[in-house]
A and B are shown apart, each in its own frame.
Chain A
């Protein structure tokens, strides 16, 4: 795998997205859902950052806020050092080309009334990258690149399998030569065998074009395979962020530890060095009323008094290993 470059492609600084809950006669804001509550990270060119967490922890919302599909409540998103947070749709247009997306559901992410060729060609005509026969040629090339046959251009989405549809989604994202692709659970709707093919395709494309990925997923095995670095989210916050090897070998946050212990091992060790299975008590608390102090304290096996009152800072406890936990910090 290519070594990630040093200058930052994407910088996310203290991003927050709160959804107001309106009730009553005059739509008063009675409470808020703290879907994303202050996350910061960056992605270098050619790098894949995995973003993992349970469902409902805000990882998809974070992805949408970065793509400007929803307006963030506060915080900054910078692309190549340019702040794109407050850009108008018109100003945003030129940055849209840099920032593309692959969605989770290969069924609802393609317009059922458009042919496959038209779907992949739409970004080309939209950004006036090509027209006429050139669109046709480029779409054919994109089809070949993602492992589809150009003869399939005239078909409609329902004539493709799930994996093929996801390849169409990838081709559409690739059409504008983006530098960053946000994958919002791009393989979790696919069969395991197809997952592997799509992930390998994504990794090949990264090598070829120097793409960066923000790879949102809940499947740790998939994330381990594709990511250079991994961020773990819990209830709207990032609790741990480090390179893949450190995260999977020596997780520092109790939540990461518990998550990792839940991953089934293909070959369980026969000796006593069996990994201990950590089972968390209870459910994820509601993001409408997040717990005080450390958000994980209600389920943490190591929680002590300080955790209930003081929110732990997100600190670099080891070189490029960031954790938000009172056990590890000062």
Chain B
């Protein structure tokens, strides 16, 4: 058989393909990836989370209806049950609420808000408190005592109470008209503040362990500044447990947001999160229109469950003491 001349473009394409395969094989051999591919539970959770992420980011394009545009909503369709029940319609697969809004679409937009609030709150908590914790552990002395006592005090205040307080202050300070626009920032701050202590404490203890290792002393000998030591040497080595906390805290933050919204101090009905949707649905729970309540509730449960499953798996696989034979992590 004659050789087929594939030409420069085709051959470079196969080269790139081979390179990608090589990288993939190398990557697959990495311990964390291997452990991941060997745990169906973790893969299931990751798949669900990926779905949530896609739906949340793509809600404006993916949602079948635009539920918060009054022009597209018709009251005639209100309280349509889910499609598989009698009187249901595939126009509204999961049914509609009291104002005729498509529940599937409200869920997609609601997940978007919940995820945004959760991620922002966790990121806020992480950046502020990892900085504080690392500095406290590295510097030590009175700085450590003062910051850690503040963190202790923060731990004694229940997070919901703290959130209610911040929300209350924001309500008093901001005029009624702009309060709705501020709600998302208030709630991010409130939930973030409630999550601070866990990061600060772990960051401090990690910094205390790492700073006594010889590579940190070696860095001092070669003239690395204290700031660079904390950022370039200690932080990367202290990151693994933080990621575990961040994952688990994401679930907690979304739950906290739902709780606040359920209590009516979270996201306003014009921009509902999953919690707001659950609160609205609660009104119709006993009138037979259960789907308005159950759909957002199940969505929230699925989301928090998958975050926790992934977080637990990450914690187990990053903990060297729980390593099973054959799975070693660098």
**Chain B: how many interface residues by the 8 Å CB criterion?**
16
Are B222 and A176 in touch, CB under 8 angstroms?
yes
Are B221 and A100 in touch, CB under 8 angstroms?
yes
Query: Taking each of A64, A93, A114, which has the highest tally of chain B beta carbons within 10 Å of its own beta carbon?
Result: A114
A175 / chain B contacts, CB cutoff of 8 Å: 222
Query: Taking each of B220, B221, B237, which has the highest tally of chain A beta carbons within 10 Å of its own beta carbon?
Result: B221
Are B330 and A112 in touch, CB under 8 angstroms?
yes
A interface bracket (residues with beta carbon within 8 Å of B): 20 to 34
**B 232-257 to A, binary, CB cutoff 8 A, 1 in contact else 0:** 11001100000000000000000000
Determine the distance from Cα of A230 to Cα of B191 in the docked complex, in whole angstroms.
63
Are B237 and A113 in touch, CB under 8 angstroms?
yes
Selecting from A103-111, A274-282, A318-326, the interface stretch reads A103-111
Minimal Cβ-Cβ distance residue in A for B215: A111
Q: Tell me, yes or no, whether A126 is within 8 Å of chain B by CB.
A: yes
Are A109 and B222 in touch, CB under 8 angstroms?
no
Determine the distance from Cα of A105 to Cα of B213 in the docked complex, in whole angstroms.
10
Minimal Cβ-Cβ distance residue in B for A97: B223
Q: Tell me, yes or no, whether B217 is within 8 Å of chain A by CB.
A: yes
Q: Tell me, yes or no, whether A158 is within 8 Å of chain B by CB.
A: yes
Given the interface contacts A126-B224, A158-B330, does A103 sit within 8 Å of B214 by beta carbon? yes
Are A96 and B222 in touch, CB under 8 angstroms?
yes
Are A123 and B214 in touch, CB under 8 angstroms?
no
Q: Tell me, yes or no, whether B322 is within 8 Å of chain A by CB.
A: no
B224 / chain A contacts, CB cutoff of 8 Å: 122, 126
- Contacts across chains A and B counted by CB atoms under 8 Å: 58
Given the interface contacts A96-B223, A122-B224, does A169 sit within 8 Å of B236 by beta carbon? no
Minimal Cβ-Cβ distance residue in A for B218: A109
Are A172 and B237 in touch, CB under 8 angstroms?
no
For the complex formed, measure the closest distance between the CB of B117 and the CB atoms of chain A, giving whole angstroms: 32
Determine the distance from Cα of A109 to Cα of B232 in the docked complex, in whole angstroms.
15
Q: Tell me, yes or no, whether A69 is within 8 Å of chain B by CB.
A: yes
Are B330 and A172 in touch, CB under 8 angstroms?
no
Q: Tell me, yes or no, whether A101 is within 8 Å of chain B by CB.
A: yes
Determine the distance from Cα of A113 to Cα of B236 in the docked complex, in whole angstroms.
7
Determine the distance from Cα of A99 to Cα of B213 in the docked complex, in whole angstroms.
19
Task: Find A169's partner among B218, B223, B233 (CB 8 Å cutoff).
Answer: B218
Determine the distance from Cα of A96 to Cα of B221 in the docked complex, in whole angstroms.
6
Q: Tell me, yes or no, whether A19 is within 8 Å of chain B by CB.
A: no
Q: Tell me, yes or no, whether A156 is within 8 Å of chain B by CB.
A: yes
Are A67 and B218 in touch, CB under 8 angstroms?
no
Q: Tell me, yes or no, whether B219 is within 8 Å of chain A by CB.
A: yes
B221 / chain A contacts, CB cutoff of 8 Å: 67, 69, 96, 99-101
Q: List 24 A-B contacts (CB under 8 A).
A: A67-B221, A69-B217, A69-B220, A69-B221, A97-B223, A101-B217, A105-B214, A108-B213, A109-B213, A109-B214, A109-B218, A111-B215, A111-B219, A111-B233, A114-B233, A122-B222, A123-B222, A126-B224, A127-B222, A127-B223, A156-B330, A158-B330, A175-B222, A176-B222
